Structure 1
Amino acid sequence: MSLTEGGRYVARNADIIAALVAFNAAQIEAHAATPQGVGWNSANAQTVRFDQVLKVIRRGGADVSLNDVGSGYGALHDYMRATGIAAEYRGFDVTETSMERARALHPQMGSSRFAPMAELSPATYSVASGIFGLRLSFDEARWHAYILDTLDLMDANSREGFSFNMLTAYSDPDRRSGDLYYADPGRYFDLCKRRYARNVALYHDYDLYDFTLVVRKERPARAD
C-alpha cells in the first residue's frame, strides 16, 4: 500500500516528529490539558493567537471545514464553539498522547475528528498555532525545511486558505531561549507570496513575541 501525502510527510520528518512527540508527552504528563501542556505560557496568550490564525476564515456554514494542524488536546475546537465560529472542525497531531487526551475530552465528536497527521485531508481552511516555535536541538536549515514541508502540506489541503504563527526575530535578545526558533517575518511573508498565493496578510501587532501569516486563495467557482 502506498503512503498518503500526509504519510510521506511524516516519514520525511521522522527525526523531528520523534523529538516533538517526546517533548509533548512530557508536557502533557506534567501539565495535563492546559495551555502549558502544549507549550504556551498562559491561557491568554493561547486565545490571542487563536484570534489571529482564525482570521483566515471568511465565511461559515455547513460546507465550511477547518483543519487544526497540531491540534493538541483540542483547545481550538473549544474556542471556536465558545466564540460561535461555524466550521466543521478536524484536529490533526503527531502525538498519540495528545490525540488520546483530545478524544477523551470530546467524546461527542467521535474519534475520527482527532486523527494522526498522516491522515490530513482537504478542508476549506487549515490553521497551525504554535507548532513552529520549538526547534529543540535541530539546526536552522533543518528546521526551515520542516516548516516548508509542513506549509506545503497545509497548502495542498486547504481550498480557500491557511494561516500559521511563528515566534518573531524581533524578540528582545535577552528574552530568547536557545531551543526556540525566531523567524524573520519578511522572509516567510515573501515565501508565502511567491509560493502559495497572491493575497497574503502579515499580522505583527498583537503584543506577543510572534507574528501570524494568513494566506488567502481564490475561492473555487461554483459548478452550477
Structure 2
Amino acid sequence: MPRIDNKTFYSTAIEKYGITAKGVNWHSKESQKLRFDILLEMLPSDLSSYSIADAGCGFGDLYLYMLKKKRAPKKYIGIDSLVDMYSIASERTGCEILIADICTPKAFSPYGHDADALPPADFYTCSGAMNVLEEFETPLFVRNCFSACRVAFIFNVLHGEKKSETYNYLTTKQIEQMARDLGVKKIILRDDYMQDDITVAFFKESI
C-alpha cells in the first residue's frame, strides 16, 4: 500500500487550492516549471514526430507547458490513477487521458478500450508522481514506464537519503541500481537545479 492515500492526498489539495500547481501538491508554480524545464532539456528539441506518455499527468500541466514553449509532441497521452485528474486533464488538454495505476499497468479509457499493459509511446515522462510511492513500488513504476517507452523514460523524484513517512526519496546509488537491473543503455542525471530533487533519463539505446 502507498505510504499515504493518494486520493485523499490530491483531492484535499484540489479542494484547497483548485487547479493550480499547489493543487497537485507542488510547493509553487515556479518549482513545477523548473522541473518541467529540466525534463524538456532531456527531450529532443523538435518533438513533432514523437509521442509522449505522461505518467501521473495530474491536470495535464506538462502538456500545456509544452504548448506554451512551442514544444508540443506529435501525440500526448496522459495517465493518472485518479478520476478527478482524468476529468480535469481531459478538459484542459483535449488529449487522450487514461486511468491506470502505473505499478499494476492495466489502463482504462472511458473512450472504450482496456489494455493489459500501458500504451506504447516514444517517450514516457513523470514529474512528481513518484514522490509519494512506497519504496517497493518505485522500481515497479520505473520498470513499467521503461518497458512501455520506445526511446527513453525521463522522470524527476526527490533525491537523497532522507527518511519520510510521507515522501519517497531515492539515492543516486538506488537509481543506478535500477538502471542496471533494467539493462538501461544510457543514463543521464541532473541534480544541480533544486535542492533534494533529481531528474533522470533512462535510454534504451546508447546514442
Please give the TM-score of this superposition, normalised by the length of structure 1: 0.77
The question of 1:81 aligning with 2:67 is answered: yes
Q: Cα gap change, 1:185/1:204 in structure 2, threshold over 3 Å: closer, same or farther?
A: same
Which whole-Å deviations, capped at 9, do the CAs of 1:104-123 have from their partners, x for residues lacking one?
Answer: 323xx25xx11112323000
Q: Cα gap change, 1:165/1:19 in structure 2, threshold over 3 Å: closer, same or farther?
A: same
Q: How many Å apart are 1:211 and its aligned residue?
A: 0.6
CA distance in 2, matches of 1:39, 1:150: 20
**Computing the radius of gyration over CA atoms, which structure comes out larger, 1 or 2?**
1
Match of 2:127 in 1: 129
Match of 1:35 in 2: 21
Report the residue type matching 1:122 in the other structure. P
Match of 2:79 in 1: 92
Match of 1:140 in 2: none
Larger relative helix fraction:
1
CA distance in 2, matches of 1:97, 1:127: 20
Match of 2:31 in 1: 45
How is 1:70-219 mapped onto 2 (pairs within 5 angstroms)?
70-87=56-73, 88-106=75-93, 109-110=94-95, 113-117=96-100, 118-119=106-107, 120-135=118-133, 143-169=134-160, 178-218=165-205
| Structure ranking higher on relative contact order (CA contacts 8 Å, 6+ apart) | 1
Q: How many Å apart are 1:17 and its aligned residue?
A: 9.8
Report the residue type matching 2:39 in the other structure. V
Measured on the aligned residues, the alpha-carbon RMSD in Å equals 2.3
Q: Cα gap change, 1:23/1:207 in structure 2, threshold over 3 Å: closer, same or farther?
A: closer
Whether the 8 Å contact between 2:127 and 2:155 is mirrored in structure 1 is yes
The percentage of aligned residue pairs carrying the same residue is 24
Q: Cα gap change, 1:178/1:95 in structure 2, threshold over 3 Å: closer, same or farther?
A: same
Q: Cα gap change, 1:17/1:184 in structure 2, threshold over 3 Å: closer, same or farther?
A: closer
Instruction: Kindly tell me the number of residue pairs found equivalent between the two proteins.
Output: 191
Q: Cα gap change, 1:104/1:86 in structure 2, threshold over 3 Å: closer, same or farther?
A: closer
The unaligned stretches of length 5 or more in structure 2 are 101-105, 108-117
Larger relative strand fraction:
2
CA distance in 1, matches of 2:39, 2:140: 19
CA distance in 2, matches of 1:148, 1:196: 13
Whether the 8 Å contact between 2:45 and 2:71 is mirrored in structure 1 is no
Please give the TM-score of this superposition, normalised by the length of structure 2: 0.83
Give 2:6's match in structure 1, choosing from 6, 15, 20.
Answer: 20
